Structure 1
Amino acid sequence: MTKDVFRTRRANIIGAECYKRFAVFVPILYKNGEPVLLFETRAESLRQQPGEICFPGGRLEPTESPEACAVRETIEELLIPESSIQIYGPGDLFISPFNFIIHPYIGRLDGYDGRFNADEVAETFTVPLDLFRNQEPEAFACPVVSAPNGDFPYERIPGGQHYNWHVGSQEILFYQYDDEHLIWGITAQIVRSAVRLIDAYNLT
């Protein structure tokens, strides 16, 4: 290693080894010539977030790249061939205060026939891209606070139990599509970011 190599290195995230990593595919389809985004409703039998709306995706395997994970999970959940997926590129990372990172990938999905893996997915549906272009999401602030465990050594820090911990804030977004489909939380964050990138890079 040399200083020149160091100058061009890609910065890593401190503590990234403590984070679980996930990847999702943000699929663009076309209906009557107009771009739409495809969403899933998670199966009620799932342990995590049953019945909630998401993009196809899941947790990275140990030696898997984020893009490969997004493609693999989409194939498994939508029962499609890999040839149906065209990845345009990576979206912006979502880094959660709850120790996980999500890698979104934006691309086109061709020839989707509406099938899905019922073990993981309750339904799929599409939303016109223009809805997200024209509708600002509702936004709500959710405090993020430090709450050390009972064995935390307060006596070793200035102020002890009265230490002035920072209080953060997480923005929670809501897109109400119709009476049955609320796109909120992390998925809504990814939607807002992805739509901005889609328009900035003319991906449709």
Structure 2
Amino acid sequence: MSVNDLESRILEILAGRRKLTLQPENLVRAAVLVPIIRRSGEYCILFMKRPKNMKHHPGQISFPGGIFEERDLTLKGTVIREMHEELGVDVGDIKFLGELDDYATTTGFLISPFVGSIPYPYNFKVNKEEVADLIIVPVEELTSPPKVGYIVREGKHYPVYYYELPEHIIWGATARILKNFMDTIFSGAST
């Protein structure tokens, strides 16, 4: 499948479905990008490892993105700002392909995920205060369903999806958004 084929598939599927939109209700608004790249002919997803000294989710694997600021005007604006701040990606280099379902975290965030492609190779200008490392994972390695564990918060049991990779574990909100992406694009279902 060529990159245009995958991009066309994502565009068609995301345009043809109704995104689940949640209301903030005391949650902090945030937005992320699920960045699709093609490396050596293989489709990949770009992740970031957060520095261990970060206030929120230190040391975790995440998608580029962050908290909505008024100056962003829109959640897509948040993605554009964060992509530039974290990775030095110019807005003209992001091809937005659509949106996934909103996701409310157990830690008080309401995340709106966007999907987009970025040319590769790319001259990323990584902000080391926000990004410890970039991780590129072939989509093929993510096609198996994630494993499920459980956490307890305030007496409630919550399922936690996680993907075990050779050197990393993707879990929490990132795994939940990734699962929604994989289910939606590759099996036509959504969660």
TM value normalised by structure 1: 0.74
Give 1:31 deviation, angstroms: 1.1
SS at match of 2:185: helix
Find runs of 4+ consecutive structure 1 residues off by over 3 angstroms: 11-14, 143-146
Alpha carbons 2:21, 2:101 under 8 Å: kept: no
SS at match of 1:124: strand
* Percent identical residues: 30
Residue 104 of structure 1 is matched in structure 2 by 113
Q: Taking structure 1 as reference, are residues 129 and 73 closer, same or farther at Cα in structure 2, changes over 3 Å only? A: same
Aligned to 2:157: 169
1:40 and 2:68 aligned:
no
Change (3 A) 1:98 1:123: closer
Higher relative contact order, structure no. (Cα contacts within 8 Å, ≥ 6 residues apart): 2
Tell me by how many angstroms 1:118 deviates.
0.8
Secondary structure at 2:170 match in 1? strand
SS at match of 1:175: strand
Rg larger for: 1
- What residue number does 2:92 align with? 83
User: 1:185, CA displacement in angstroms?
Assistant: 1.2
Greater shift after overlay, 51-60 or 109-118? 109-118
SS of 1:170's equivalent in the other structure is strand
1:188 equivalent to 2:178? Answer no
Q: Given the alignment of the two structures, is residue 117 of structure 1 paired with residue 104 of structure 2, yes or no?
A: no
Cα separation, 1, equivalents of 2:37 and 2:161: 23
Map residues 5-154 of structure 1 onto 2, 5 A cutoff: 13=22, 16-62=24-70, 64-111=73-120, 112-133=122-143, 135-145=144-154
Superposed displacement of residue 62, structure 1 = 2.4
Runs (5+) with no aligned partner, structure 2: 1-19
* Structure 1 unaligned spans of 5+: 1-10, 147-167
Q: Cα RMSD over matched residues?
A: 2.1
How many residues matched? 167
Match of 2:4 in 1: none
| TM-score of the pair, normalised by structure 2 | 0.79
